[in-house]
Amino acid sequence: MVQLPVWTAIAPTVILALTVLLLLVVDSINPDEDSGNLLAVMAVIGTVTSIAVTGWYLLAGTGQPPTDPVLLFADAIVVDGMSLFFTALVGSVVVLIVLASYDYLADHPYQAEYYSLVMLAATGMSLMASANSLATAFVSLELASLPSFALVASLKHNRGSVEAGLKYFLIGALSSAVFAFGISLVFAAGGSLGFADVAAAAADTSLPGVLGLGILFVAGGFAYKTASVPFHFWAPDAYEGAPSPISAFLSSASKAAGFVLLFRVFVEAFPQTAVAGTIDWVLAFQVLAVVTMTVGNFAAATQENVKRMLAYSSVGHAGYVLIAVAALTTDANRSFVLGSGMAHLLVYGFMNTGAFLFIALTEYWDVGRTFEDFNGLAKQAPFACAAMTVFLFSLAGLPFGGGFLSKFYLLMASVNGGVLLLAVALVVNSALSLYYYSRVVRAMWLEEPDGTLEIQGYPTGLYAAIAVAAVMTVLLLPAFGPVAEMANAAASAIV
C-alpha cells in the first residue's frame, strides 16, 4: 500500500477549502455570465470528492484504533474516527443543500458568492470536528459562523432575511465574546490551550474558581451554537427569515459541528476526573437537556407557521442530543452514550434537512407557510408529501425511518447512565412532538384545499434532494446497527 504524507489526513477539509477558491476563480473569469449550473456542479463535485476521501479514510482505519489519532500542526488538529464521521455528515448535508439551491436560487444574482459561502462554512464545520485545542476551536467556530451570517441575509431584497441575518450576527458576536472570555479564563487557570494540556492542568490548578467560571462560559458558547436554551432565541428568527436551504444547513450541519466540538472539549479538555472538585458539568448538562427539549417542543406546539415550528423542533432535538453528555456519569458505558448522540445527529442530518427542503419546495411554489396553506397539497404533489411524512414521523420517533432507532438508543443511553429523568423527558417530549408533526401530515393528506392551490412545475434539483434525503432516512432504519457501531467505535477513542 502507498504510504501518504501525514498532512494528507486533513485532505477532506482541504478539498472543501480548495472548492471555495475554485468557485471564486471561475466566477471571476466572467462575472457577468450566468454560470449557476456550472457553479452548482462544481460545488457538488468538490463535496462528493471530500465525502469519498473521508469514506476511504474511515474504511482504511485512518487515525482509528488500533492506530493512534493523526496529530497535525503541533497537535492543534486531530484526525480520528470522530472527525471523519462528522466530516462525512457535514458533506452529506452540503450535497443536499447545493442540489436544492440549484432551483430555489435560480434567479439569485450572486450565486458564486452563495455557493462559496456554503462551502466556506462547511470547511469551518469540518475543521471544528478536528479541533484539538481551544484556539483551533475558536478559529474554526468563527470560520463556520461568519459565512452563515451572510447566508442568512443573502436575500437582500427580503426584509425578513436581512432582519434575521442582523439578529443572528448580533447574537453570534455576543456568544463569540462569551466563548472567547471562557477560553481566556481556562488559559489563566491552566496556562494551556491544547485539550490534553488543559486536562492535565485542570487537575492541579491553583485557581479552581476561575477554571469553573471559564468552563461555564465555554458551555454558554456551545449552547448558542447548538441552539440550546436559553441561547436559542436566534434560531426561530434566523431559520424563518433565511432561504430555506440555508435553514436546513444551519439546523443540521451547523448543529452537528457545534455538538462534535462540545463532545471533544468536555470529554477531552474537561474530563470529570480532572474537574470533579471544580464543577459538575454533567449535572449542568442534565438540567440543560431537560429544559431545552421541553421548551423547544412546547414552543413548537404553539406555532402556526410550519417553518417556525420546525425551527423550535430543532431546539427540542438539541435537547435530545445533549443526552449524549448529560448521561456521561461515572457508571455509564461512555462510548455507548456518546456514540448514541453521534448516531442521532447523522440520522437527524437527513430527516431534518429533508423537512426544511420540503418547505423550500413549497416556497418555490408560493404555497404559503401556515398549516392551512398545506391543505390538500398531497393531491398535487403526492411524492413530495409522502417524503415529508417520512421526515416528520421519523423526527417524532415513529418507525418510518432511522429516527426511531436513534431516539431509542438515546433512551437506552439515559437508562445506561442512570439518569431516568432524561429518559422520561425524552419520551414525553417525543409524544408531544407527534402532535404538531401530525398537524402537517393531516393538512397535506386529509384536509380539502380551498381551491386556490395551483402548483407550477416540479423543480428537478429540489425533488432530487428531497428524494435522496427520504431514501437515506428510510435506509438508516435497517442500517442503523452499523452506523451505531461506527459511532461507538469513534466515541471510544476519546472517552
Query: Tens digits of per-residue pLDDT, 269-311?
Result: 999 888 877 888 999 999 999 999 999 999 999 999 999 999 9
pLDDT exceeds 70 at position 236: yes
Range of the domain at 478: 280-495
Specify if 44 maps to a domain.
no
Residue 106: predicted pLDDT: 79
Across residues 52-63, what is the average pLDDT?
Answer: 92
Residue 208: predicted pLDDT: 84
Secondary structure string (H, E, C) spanning the chain? CCCCCHHHHHHHHHHHHHHHHHHHHHHHHCCCCCCHHHHHHHHHHHHHHHHHHHHHHHHHCCCCCCCCCEEECCCCEEECHHHHHHHHHHHHHHHHHHHHHHHHCCCCCCHHHHHHHHHHHHHHHHHHHCECEHHHHHHHHHHHHHHHHHHHCCCCCCHHHHHHHHHHHHHHHHHHHHHHHHHHHHHHHHCCCEHHHHHHHHHHCCCHHHHHHHHHHHHHHHHHHCCCCCCCCHHHHHHHHCCHHHHHHHHHHHHHHHHHHHHHHHHHHCCHHHHCCCCCHHHHHHHHHHHHHHHHHHHHHCCCEHHHHHHHHHHHHHHHHCHHHHCCCCCCCHHHHHHHHHHHHHHHHHHHHHHHHHHHHHHHCCCCCECHHHCCHHHCCHHHHHHHHHHHHHHHCCCCCCHHHHHHHHHHHHHHCCCHHHHHHHHHHHHHHHHHHHHHHHHHHCCCCCCCCCCCCCCHHHHHHHHHHHHHHHHCCCCHHHHHHHHHHHHHCCC
Specify if 315 maps to a domain.
yes
Query: Tens digits of per-residue pLDDT, 307-342?
Result: 999 999 999 999 999 999 999 998 889 999 999 999
Q: How does residue 3 score in pLDDT terms, banded at 50, 70 and 90?
A: confident
pLDDT exceeds 90 at position 255: yes
Specify if 40 maps to a domain.
no
Residue 45: predicted pLDDT: 96
Q: How does residue 87 score in pLDDT terms, banded at 50, 70 and 90?
A: very high
Return the minimum-mean-pLDDT range out of 24-38, 373-387, 439-453.
Answer: 24-38
Query: Tens digits of per-residue pLDDT, 202-219?
Result: 888 778 889 999 999 999
Return the minimum-mean-pLDDT range out of 18-22, 182-186, 203-207.
Answer: 203-207
Specify if 465 maps to a domain.
yes
Across residues 168-178, what is the average pLDDT?
Answer: 91
Q: How does residue 231 score in pLDDT terms, banded at 50, 70 and 90?
A: confident
Residue 34: predicted pLDDT: 66
Number of structural domains the chain divides into = 1
Specify if 381 maps to a domain.
yes
Specify if 259 maps to a domain.
no
Specify if 383 maps to a domain.
yes
pLDDT exceeds 70 at position 2: no
Task: Please tell me whether the overall predicted TM-score, pTM, comes out greater than 0.85 for this model.
Answer: yes
Residue 157: predicted pLDDT: 81
Residue 32: predicted pLDDT: 67
Residue 158: predicted pLDDT: 84
Across residues 387-394, what is the average pLDDT?
Answer: 97
Q: Which residue has the higher pLDDT, 106 or 12?
A: 12
Residue 70: predicted pLDDT: 93
Specify if 256 maps to a domain.
no
Residue 214: predicted pLDDT: 93
